[in-house]
Amino acid sequence: MQLFQINLQFGDITTNPYHLETILRSDLTKALTSLTPDILEEAQLALPEAFDSKGSDSVTLPLFNTMVNIVARVSNRVMIGVPGCRDKRFLHEQVNLATTVIGLSQVLNYFPQFLRPLVFRLSSLVFGGTKTVVPLLTPYVKSRIEYAQQFQDNPQTITDILMRFTPEEDIMIPEKVAVRVAHLNMASIHTTAIFITHALFELALFTPEQLDMLRDEITTAIESEGGVCNKAAVGRFHILDSLLKEIGRWHPLFAIGMSRLTLSDAVIADGSVIPKGTVVAIAPKATHYNPEIYDQPEIFDPFRFSKLRGTGGIDGKHAFTALSNDYLLFGVGKHACPGRFFAALKIKVILAEIILNYDLSCPSGKAERPKSFAFNLFTTPSPTAKLTFTRRK
Ligand code: HEM
């Protein structure tokens, strides 16, 4: 069972995955400080548009879809810049690409290997895919290539950083670079939106005292940076960091994932031999719900990790982005998610904007956590559950 059939759907981008280098070699993580003002500005523009209550006090929205669209715009502000990040048609197709890729990958698993290219080609005619997104994305990528050629030392978007790693033969064909950008976008948008959605459903269950504490912490952090929500301020959002880490413990993205193929016989700790050619994977929930690792793992405690952290800083082993064998949300080892710092920053900036400017409530009037939606190995927040946003005075 393969989660994504990347080469089939994106062409052969895994043989030379130079677009992952931008992140893997940590250039993106280093650039986060300078990208934060753009992330913030786009969130400040996108949120009031998405939460427009058309003259009434509040608005009730299907949360997951709303967040996917907001994240697509905010992410693309730093992926390809303005105006691409506000091109509704491109954003719609980019969002659709992830759904198609993941859905189609599951279906393709049921066909023999030799038939998959044919099934893929036929279904792409109906559902779209990279062939629909790439032509819409290419003009924006082309203008970033032109910018990067002129101002190599002053990258303003992730695509500008990508140009440092792009072979000359691909620079000549911007469509090829656009495929890489579409792939990075795909890794970035739904994952981020899933966390913002879960967090908002949880925040709607917070008591007024807990919310006051959270708002105080965010406001104090921003004030300590002269009133600017920059990367340093975000680094002081301890409660939000703990909430996100608990969400990742409670709802890892997939039941089984991070699969690997053994290239030689492997002997594991208990002496068992895994023969060469075996696909192995890990099951994060078994670890995340293990009572020997987590006290009362069946209880969702948004403050679990801030309590564990005590007075220590946010960067320690209990941080949302910290990797460990006891916490598998981002994987572990060499291939652990290299985009996690970017993801955490976007999630926290968008959430802080919402928390400071809106009150949240469940439309039913009852405080309840909507049931997540599971299909095959994936879990996402409920695609239909709604939340009410009321602008704070
Ligand atoms: C909360 C959000 C996210 C979660 C939970 C997440 C989770 C993961 C996981 C579980 C893996 C697989 C690790 C493995 O196979 O060992 C992964 C890989 C990856 N992620 Fe993320 N991710 C998130 C956001 C992002 C973002 C925003 C980006 C980039 C813009 C990104 C880029 C990547 C890339 C490039 C890989 C492949 C790394 C490799 O193969 O070496 N991710 N992510």
Q: Domains plus CATH for the chain?
A: 6-253+339-391 (1.10.630.10)
Mutate-to-test residue for ligand 1 from 337, 346, 350, highest number of ligand atoms within 8 A of CB: 337
Q: What is the pLDDT of residue 259?
A: 87
> Chain-centre distance of CA 149, in angstroms?
29
| Pair 337, 184: CB distance under 8 Å | no
Query: Nearest Cα to 36, choosing from 356, 391, 383, 345?
Result: 345
Q: What is the pLDDT along the chain (393 residues), one digit of tens a residue?
A: 455 555 555 666 777 888 887 776 678 888 999 999 999 999 999 999 999 989 898 999 999 999 999 999 999 999 999 999 999 999 999 998 887 777 766 677 777 877 777 777 777 666 666 788 999 999 999 999 999 999 988 999 999 999 988 999 999 999 999 999 999 999 899 999 999 999 999 999 999 999 999 999 999 999 999 999 999 999 999 999 999 999 999 999 888 888 888 999 999 989 999 999 999 999 999 999 999 999 999 999 999 999 998 766 666 889 999 999 999 999 998 889 999 999 999 999 999 999 999 999 999 888 888 999 887 778 899 999 999 999 998
What integer pLDDT is reported at residue 317 of this predicted model? 87
The two beta strands, 378-380 and 373-375, are antiparallel
| Nearest Cα residue to atom 28 of ligand 1 | 339
Task: Tell me if 79 CB under 6 Å of ligand 1.
Answer: no
Residue owning the nearest CA to atom 7 of ligand 1: 330
Residue 187 in contact with ligand 1 by CB distance below 6 A: yes
Classify each residue of 338-359 as buried b or exposed e, where b means 16 or more C-beta atoms within 10 Å of its C-beta. bbbbbbbbbbbbbbbbbbeebb
Structure tokens that stand for 64 in this block: 């997951």
Supply the pLDDT for residue 219: 98
**With contact defined as beta carbons under 8 Å apart, do 317 and 332 qualify?**
no
> Which of 330, 335, 350 has most ligand 1 atoms within 8 Å of its beta carbon, as the pocket-test mutant?
330
- Residue spans of beta strands (DSSP E) within 33-83: 58-62
Residue 218 to residues 36, 187, 215, 255, 344, Cα–Cα distance (Å)? 16, 28, 5, 33, 15
